[in-house]
C-alpha cells in the first residue's frame, strides 16, 4: 500500500488598485519592493510551508469581487490588500464576508497614521486579522499566520 501526501494547501493573495506600481509609486510611503518581488517571495515562502500561493492583482473592483467569489471553496486562506478599496468597497467587504477560511488584511503603510479617510477599513469587521505598517514583510507574516491557523495536511492513502 503506497501513501501519497495531501495536495498542497492553497492561499490566494489579492492585490488591489495601483499595487502594480509598487516600487515606483510613492516609495517613501510604500517602499521600493515591487509587486513581482512580493509575489515571488510569497511563492518561495509558501513552498517552504507546503502551501501553494496564487497572486492576483486588479485595478478594477468587479474583477476583485469576481476573484474572491471564485476562491470560495477553492482556497484554504486569503490575503488581501484592497488598497484604496479598503476604505470604499462594500462589494469587496461582502465578498470577503462569505469566505469560510482565514482572511488577513495587509497594508504596507500604517493606515491608522495616514489621512483620516484612509484610517477606516470596511474590511476589518469581516477579516480574521490585519497587518499594517510593516511594509512588504507584512505579506510574509500574513502567510505565516494563515499557515499556523490551518490544520496540518493529512496524508491520503
pLDDT tens digits for range 42-99: 999 999 999 999 999 999 999 999 999 999 989 999 999 999 999 999 999 999 999 9
Domain boundaries, the chain: 9-149
Exposed/middle/buried for residue 125 (C-beta within 10 Å: 0-12, 13-18, 19+): exposed
Compute, in degrees rounded to 10, the torsion defined by CA atoms 107, 113, 116, 118.
Answer: -10
Residues 15, 30, 85, 139: which is the catalytic one?
30
| More reliable by pLDDT, 79 or 8 | 79
d(CA 157, CA 28): 52
Residues 15, 85, 107, 139: which is the catalytic one?
107
Going by pLDDT thresholds of 50, 70 and 90, the confidence category of residue 23 is: confident
Domain 9-149, CATH among 3.90.1410.10, 1.20.140.10, 3.40.50.2300, 3.40.50.9100: 3.40.50.9100
pTM across the whole model: 0.90
For residue 30, is pLDDT > 80?
no
Q: Is 107 a catalytic residue?
A: yes
Q: Is 30 a catalytic residue?
A: yes
Amino acid at each position: 500500500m503506497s501513501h501519497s501526501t495531501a495536495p498542497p494547501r492553497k492561499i490566494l493573495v489579492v492585490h488591489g488598485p495601483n499595487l502594480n506600481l509598487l516600487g515606483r509609486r510613492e516609495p517613501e510611503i510604500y517602499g521600493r519592493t515591487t509587486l513581482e518581488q512580493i509575489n515571488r517571495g510569497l511563492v518561495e515562502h509558501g513552498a517552504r510551508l507546503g502551501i501553494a500561493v496564487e497572486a492576483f492583482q486588479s485595478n478594477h473592483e468587479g474583477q476583485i469581487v469576481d476573484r474572491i467569489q471564485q476562491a470560495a471553496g477553492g482556497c484554504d486562506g486569503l490575503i488581501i490588500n484592497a488598497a484604496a478599496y479598503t476604505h470604499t468597497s462594500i462589494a469587496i467587504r461582502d465578498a470577503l464576508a462569505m469566505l469560510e477560511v482565514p482572511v488577513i488584511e495587509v497594508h504596507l503603510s500604517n493606515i491608522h497614521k495616514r489621512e483620516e479617510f484612509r484610517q477606516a477599513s470596511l474590511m476589518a469587521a469581516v477579516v480574521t486579522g490585519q497587518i499594517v505598517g510593516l511594509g512588504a514583510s507584512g505579506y510574509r507574516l500574513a502567510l505565516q499566520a494563515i499557515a499556523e491557523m490551518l490544520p496540518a495536511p493529512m496524508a491520503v492513502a
